Amino acid sequence: MYGIFTNRTAMKTFETALNLIQKQDRLWLLGWMAGMAIVWTWDYFFLNAPALRLIESAFLNTGLVSLLAVFFALLWSWPAAVTLHFIESKRPVYMSVIFFLNIVRSVPQILGVLIGYTVLTVLIERELLESSDAKLWAMALVISFVVFLELLDSLRERIRWFQRSDFYPAMLVSGVSESRIIQYDILWKNSRSHIINKLIAMFGTAVFLQCSIDFIISVGLSTEVSSQNFPATLGSLLAKMDSKKDILAIGNSLFNPEYIPRLFTTHLQGITVAFLIVFSLLSIYMINRVFALRKRL
Amino acid sequence: MKNKLLEHGYSVAAVGFVLFFFSWALRTPAYSVQYPSDPLLNKLTKIDSLHPEKPLHRALLKESLDSFYPDQSARNDSLIDALIQWRRDTYMAAIKSARMDREWSWNRFNDLAAMYSTFIVAFTIVTALIYFGSPALGLYQFIRYNRVCPPDARQWCEACRIVFKKIPGNRSHAFRRIASLKLKWFLKSIAYAVLFSPAYVVAYSFKTNFEKDSMVFLIALGFGTNGLLITSAYKCFSILTSESRKGYVETARAKGLSADYDHLPMRALLQPGKYFSNHVAGHIYKQAVFQYRPALKELASFVVTGLIIIEMALNIQGHLGYELLKSVLYRNWDVVMVIIFGIFLLIKLTEAAADVWHFHESNRYENV
């Protein structure tokens, strides 16, 4: 097993690579991609083609919805942060908006998504939402509404932090417009790392919420509409009976170790989906964490 | 403080009003049989003994209709089809209505109250476990992060070099080191897999059927899965890291306090006060915990999310999350609104408690 380390150069290369993995966010990203590639290759040889195609489309849909959700969240929170800054002097309006945002903040994310999906279900029932692409965009919109507050808080925190420093009045007396100071100098030039860090974290949250809600609605949110009417995602795929049985096999193998090899051949669909979810969440967390440490955020 | 509490009160009132409005606006009329407008079809629907789904009844009806209306065979066929369709729709509507369980009664109220109480108990335990557990985990991560000792990978490479006699050293000690590192990595992988798994993945690994008495299982899942504990610990770690960069830490070090994390006793992590004698870690921790306190507010919302996901995904009957999902499915908007209001109220109460606690602690520090 340790044969590869008989060569000193190989050993040093391996050591360097491992050290880099522990420290570098980009290497975690590469590790994530590599993990996905290895699983895909394995599935390509051992999983039947229809199931593989289903997993591929579910993974792509989950990734796409989560990315779109993050994009939409950025789209809402940036103007919202700037607007809130400018209406801060108008106390009644500002206080009303903050009051409303605090209420939204107190609604658990899963309830927000559930309410949003119930609306989508009604739209599907009334045949107002038919195409698969439109459903994906709508799902992303729903998720973005429940996660955008995290980014909004972060942006407002950055603006406030810079406002307290000398930098802000100095720029103002230099004749730079307030809007430019906030949008360009504070948010774009000096908070990019913070925003990216938040977006990575939100991407993880979006993946988690997406998988959870799709798993939950596998029983359906309507007697006419069920998860079958939504595009396949990792959550909905995991909720299928086959996948559940595959996951149950993991627990079975803990008590019967001789069963472990069969996990990677017989129970591939469920194991793959579960692995994709857990490994993605772990990788996103590690990327986020190492990125924050590297940038000293 | 008073303003904050007032704000919480107003938001509860506002949400209550909105939910009451939706509950009223979305109310569905009580079920009543809608008879078809076609007079002949209307007459046929009122014959209780007629079951056109049965082949014999269908054939007899067809013959009767053909004998009464001899030259209208196609119309007679469509009449029978319409009758069958009407009976099917009426039957489905009756089933749906029966499941809606619209009437509020003491029994219904008691059932919901019992579910809500169970939810509150689970919520309180999980929140307390995470809230008090994550600073310890965050501090553990912080101490490990600040240790100068080489990372595990490097230690493993060093041990391998000794084993293969590339560098001098005690081989049996190196073997033991490799074995312990392997065990550590294995346990770490398992821990990470569980901590980052959504609860339903972990739960379905063990069983497929979840009963009402799954309270301990529910709490264990709520505490250890869905990434709640690790995210909360990471928040604490971030606060500790940013605190450690502040000037007072440098001053403390200059005044003689130790900043050596390599020899810091880990058993102090298990103490409630996390007292590190003559070490900056204790001071950093105290400041960090003070800053971490308001995180209880957002934690409440995340814990509720986690618990609802568990109850809904595992279909634990007799629990609030499952009842909510079932009520959404059968459009029991009254119940949906009551449950959502109950959950919102729970979160607002936790937020208010966190605000009061933070206010008192702030005052205590200011007086000192």
Question: In terms of domains, do B273 and B209 share one?
Answer: yes
Residue B367 has pLDDT above 70, yes or no: no
Determine the structural domain holding residue A211 and report its residue range.
Answer: 27-294
- CB B231, CB A202: distance < 8 Å: no
Maximal CA-CA distance, chain B: 111
B206 and A CB contact within 8 Å: yes
Helix axes A8-23, B152-163, angle to 10 degrees: 170
Check residue B103 and give its pLDDT. 64
Q: Residue A296: what pLDDT?
A: 78
Q: Residue A276 has what pLDDT? A: 92
Nearest to B154 among A5, A19, A114 (CB): A19
Helix B152-163 and helix B171-196, axial crossing angle in degrees, nearest 10: 150
Q: What is the pLDDT of residues B341-350, one digit of tens each?
A: 999 999 999 9
- Whether this model's ipTM surpasses 0.90 comes out as no
Which pLDDT score is estimated for B208? 61
**Residue A260: inside a domain, yes or no?**
yes
- Nearest CB to B161 within list A11, A223, A250: A11
pLDDT at residue A28, as a whole number: 85
Query: What is the per-residue pLDDT for A2?
Result: 47
A145 in any annotated domain = yes
Q: Please report which confidence band the pLDDT of residue A1 belongs to, taking 50, 70 and 90 as the band edges.
A: very low
Containing structural domain, residue B112: 106-146+198-329
What does the pLDDT read at residue B120?
A: 93
Q: How many CB atoms lie within 10 A of CB B102?
A: 17
Asked, for residue B341, whether it belongs to a domain, the answer is no
When comparing pLDDT for A19 and B14, which is higher? B14
B97, B149, B157: best mutation site toward chain A, by most A Cβ within 10 Å? Answer: B157
B130 plus B204 within the same structural domain: yes
User: Using one digit for the tens of pLDDT, what is the confidence trace for B291-335?
Assistant: 888 888 888 988 998 888 888 888 888 888 888 888 888 878 888
Give me the pLDDT at residue B209, please. 63
Total count of domains within chain A: 1
With respect to residue B260, please indicate whether it lies within any of the assigned structural domains: yes
Q: Is the pLDDT of residue A202 over 90?
A: yes
Domain co-membership, B71 together with B116: no
B25 against A48, higher pLDDT: A48
The reply to whether B51 falls in a domain is yes
The C-alpha of A178 sits at a distance from chain B's nearest C-alpha, in angstroms, of 29
Query: Is residue B21 assigned to a domain?
Result: no
User: In the predicted model, is pLDDT for residue B354 greater than 50?
Assistant: yes
**For residue A19, is it within any domain?**
no
For residues B120 and B96, membership in a common domain is answered with no
Q: Considering only A193-197, B171-175, B364-368, which range has the smallest mean pLDDT?
A: B364-368
Closest Cβ opposite residue A277 in set B201, B308, B340: B201
Residue A17 belongs to some domain of the structure? no
pLDDT for res A76: 93
> Among A32-36, B81-85, B344-348, B351-355, whose mean pLDDT is lowest?
B81-85
pLDDT digits (tens, 9 = 90+) for A53-82: 999 999 999 999 999 999 999 999 999 999
Provide, as residue numbers in chain B, all residues whose Cβ is less than 8 Å from the Cβ of A21: 153
B149 or B70, which is more confident? B70
Answer whether B329 sits within 8 Å of A222, measured CB to CB: yes
What band does A156 get if pLDDT is binned at 50, 70 and 90? very high
Checking if the pLDDT of B234 tops 80, the result is: yes
Contact between A136 and A61 under an 8 Å Cβ cutoff? The reply is: yes
B153 interface with A at CB cutoff 8 Å: yes
Look at the block and give the residue holding tokens 């704000």.
B7
What is the per-residue burial (b if ≥16 Cβ within 10 Å, else e) of A248-268?
A: bbbbbbeeeeeeeeebeeebb
pLDDT digits (tens, 9 = 90+) for B171-188: 888 888 888 888 988 898
Q: Could you tell me if residue A149 is inside a domain?
A: yes
Token digits of residue A117: 């999906």
CATH number of the structural domain spanning residue A220: 1.10.3720.10
Query: What is the CA angle B269-B217-B125, rounded to 5?
Result: 50
Domain assignment present for B55: yes
Span B274-281, average pLDDT: 79
Read off the pLDDT of each residue in A251-258 and give the average, rounded to a whole number.
80
Number of domains in chain B: 2
A68 domain-assigned? yes
- B240/B139 Cα distance (integer angstroms): 7
| Low-confidence winner among A241-250, B110-119, B210-219, B284-293 (lowest mean pLDDT) | B210-219
Note whether B202 and B276 are same-domain residues.
yes
Question: Are B135 and B44 found together in one domain?
Answer: no
Q: What is the 3-state secondary structure (H, E, C) of chain A?
A: CHHHHHCHHHHHHHHHHHHHHHHCHHHHHHHHHHHHHHHHHHHHHHCCHHHHHHHHHHHHHHHHHHHHHHHHHHHHHHHHHHHHHHCCCCHHHHHHHHHHHHHHHHCCHHHHHHHHHHHHHHHHHCCCCCCHHHHHHHHHHHHHHHHHHHHHHHHHHHHHHHHHCCHHHHHHHCCCCHHHHHHHHHHHHHCHHHHHHHHHHHHHHHHHHHHHHHHHHHHCCCCCCCHHHCCCCHHHHHCCHHHHHHHHHHHHHHHCHHHHHHHCCCCHHHHHHHHHHHHHHHHHHHHHHHHHHHCCC
Q: Point out the residue among A106, A204, A277 whose CB comes nearest to the CB of B301.
A: A106
pLDDT at site A168: 87
